Structure 1
Amino acid sequence: MVQRRFTALRGNSQRLDGGAMFGNAPKALWSRWVEADELNRIPLACNALLVEEHSDAGTRRILLETGVGAFFEPELAARYGVVEREHCLLGALADIGLSDSDIDIVMLSHLHFDHAGGLLAAWQEGEAHRLLFSNAIYLTGSEQWQRANAPHLRDRASYIPELLQLLESSGRLQLIAQERSALLGDDYRFIRSDGHTPGMLLTEIETGQGPLIYGADLVPAMPWVNLPITMGYDRAAEMLIDEKESLLNGLQQRRGWIFFSHDPACFAARIEADRRGRYSTSEPIMAAGPLNFCSGT
């Protein structure tokens, strides 16, 4: 018997251009959902999901995503709208009595800096980048790894070359090419999505109250539950919409949950659909900390 506890953790936050975040949707539409500042930037979070598994064999801790962290030097941090200078995810772990060295597995949906930058220690002048989570196995998709090492001009700035080198030299990087991972086991399933970036992997876990899927950048926050809404950062908007429809339809049919990677207010919610096939959320989980469902397998 494995007992799982799910905990929502808040990492660093950002403020990014609202037009870029909402793609071809006009501001008259997206301003109904989120308020922009005087620079047209909207607030975004970097939310991580901690899964703690307790069994007779001991405790295993799995962290989904690390957020942007605080690796940027001050000038770049300002350019990319990173609000805090401290590494907030490390603080969130400390608040529940843990450190990065207590994590056994880090699962990365993809390797853009706002999802993987938290693997690095906070920037300090004159010091080289340093990899955190020293006892963890790092998991990511094999095709995303290829993309990160040979990026297109469109998303080259989204990757951190020094991080890729550190991951490869760590000896603790495992690449996923299938729907399952032998390391994680059959209770974890990966859903491939290519609309945002090639080979992005969404992790699905059974909670005991329906499946929970980490939405990554397919459905980064509640407004993007609306099918036509995509980001300007997506490589293939039409593909992404089709992938999103398949994901949300499956969650709605199975009474499942989605975990939002970038929502500054809501960590997770159930997916509903009306008679016209429009998707919405219910039972939102608005506070960091233990999620109000548990799993035993």
Structure 2
Amino acid sequence: MQMWSLIGNSQRLDGGAMFGNAPKALWSRWIATDEQNRIPLACRCLLVKDLDGRNVLFETGIGAFFEPALRERYGVVEAHHVLLDSLAEAGLSHEDVDVVVLSHLHFDHAGGLLAAWEEGQAPRLLFPKARFVVGAEHWLRAQHPHPRDRASFIPQLGALLEQSGRLERVEGEYSQVLGKSVRLSYSQGHTPGLMLAEVGGVVFCADLIPGRFWVHLPITMGYDRWPEMLIDEKQAFLDDKLARNVRLFFTHDHDCAMARVTRDERGRYGTTDEQRELKGLVIA
């Protein structure tokens, strides 16, 4: 099988929100802000071609479903659906994708399921042949969100996924559609039931670890529901991936798609073997 890192629509969000209670004097050494204190963020997806004969896409990024005013509010840079261009560069269209795996249903991870916004047009689901895989616990959260994160969900998306007849809500370590090829685990600190997918020695970190800078244990996002829980989960996650030499795939790191985790003599986690993009990486 082959792995491709696919860039979707990018964002610029407030750096303070992305680094939680860490002071700007710390995180500004890692990443520069613009005049509005925003930092660049990718919405990167992982494509695995020929995974048991299928094309499997892990997440779809934020897409271009927002109307112009909301696109500006949430810092979405491009107006067109960038993921469709990235799929084309990998030799596919959205119609060629067999399975879409969603870590969770926040709009910056699932918005790319929808066609680009058109005035007067209702939201429309792309990927007409794909099965959609999402964690059962998180699905319930998305249907009944808390006021704190209600704005993070797309109101129409749940109904569109159910109406497709191709939705699988997963409980446990493996899904029916993917079988033993993709191992699933779960996290609660960012959002209830966040699903983390591991395939071919690579794990899609989603919002448990958005990028390299968040590998450092104390660093969390202001968007995380339970930061202390997330830190505990992150430590156990990193220890496991370090012990098994599993590489980390980052969705929001603007300049790094994949890296290996390290731990120094002080116990501090970091990354090495950083790769900016994957273009047909062959996995045995």
Compute the displacement of 1:188 (Å).
Answer: 1.2
Confirm whether residue 112 of structure 1 aligns to residue 106 of structure 2.
yes
Confirm whether residue 234 of structure 1 aligns to residue 224 of structure 2.
yes
Compute the displacement of 1:253 (Å).
Answer: 1.2
Please point out which of 238, 245, 248 is paired with 2:235: 245
Please point out which of 257, 262, 266 is paired with 1:272: 262
Compute the displacement of 1:255 (Å).
Answer: 1.6
**Percent identity at matched positions?**
57
Answer yes or no: is the 8 Å Cα contact 1:10–1:288 preserved in 2: no
Confirm whether residue 222 of structure 1 aligns to residue 212 of structure 2.
yes
Answer yes or no: is the 8 Å Cα contact 2:3–2:278 preserved in 1: no
> In structure 1, how many angstroms separate the alpha carbons of the residues matched to 2:176 and 2:62?
28
> In structure 2, how many angstroms separate the alpha carbons of the residues matched to 1:259 and 1:145?
23
Q: Which runs of 5+ in 1 are unaligned?
A: none
For 1:48, the equivalent position in structure 2 comes to: 45
> In structure 2, how many angstroms separate the alpha carbons of the residues matched to 1:128 and 1:194?
32
For 1:39, the equivalent position in structure 2 comes to: 36
TM-score (norm 2): 0.98
> In structure 1, how many angstroms separate the alpha carbons of the residues matched to 2:136 and 2:172?
9
> In structure 2, how many angstroms separate the alpha carbons of the residues matched to 1:45 and 1:54?
25
Q: Which has the higher strand share?
A: 1
Compute the displacement of 1:106 (Å).
Answer: 0.1
One-letter code aligned to 1:222 = R
Count, aligned residues: 284
> In structure 1, how many angstroms separate the alpha carbons of the residues matched to 2:229 and 2:68?
36
One-letter code aligned to 1:199 = G
TM-score (norm 1): 0.94
Q: Secondary structure at the match of 2:233?
A: helix
Q: Which runs of 5+ in 2 are unaligned?
A: none
Please point out which of 1, 5, 27 is paired with 2:2: 5
Confirm whether residue 162 of structure 1 aligns to residue 152 of structure 2.
no
> In structure 1, how many angstroms separate the alpha carbons of the residues matched to 2:207 and 2:173?
19
Answer yes or no: is the 8 Å Cα contact 2:4–2:277 preserved in 1: no
Please point out which of 129, 139, 147 is paired with 1:135: 129
For 1:284, the equivalent position in structure 2 comes to: 274
Compute the displacement of 1:288 (Å).
Answer: 4.5
For 1:103, the equivalent position in structure 2 comes to: 97
When the two chains are superposed, the root-mean-square deviation of aligned CA atoms in Å is 1.0
One-letter code aligned to 1:290 = G
For 2:115, the equivalent position in structure 1 comes to: 121
Answer yes or no: is the 8 Å Cα contact 1:221–1:262 preserved in 2: yes
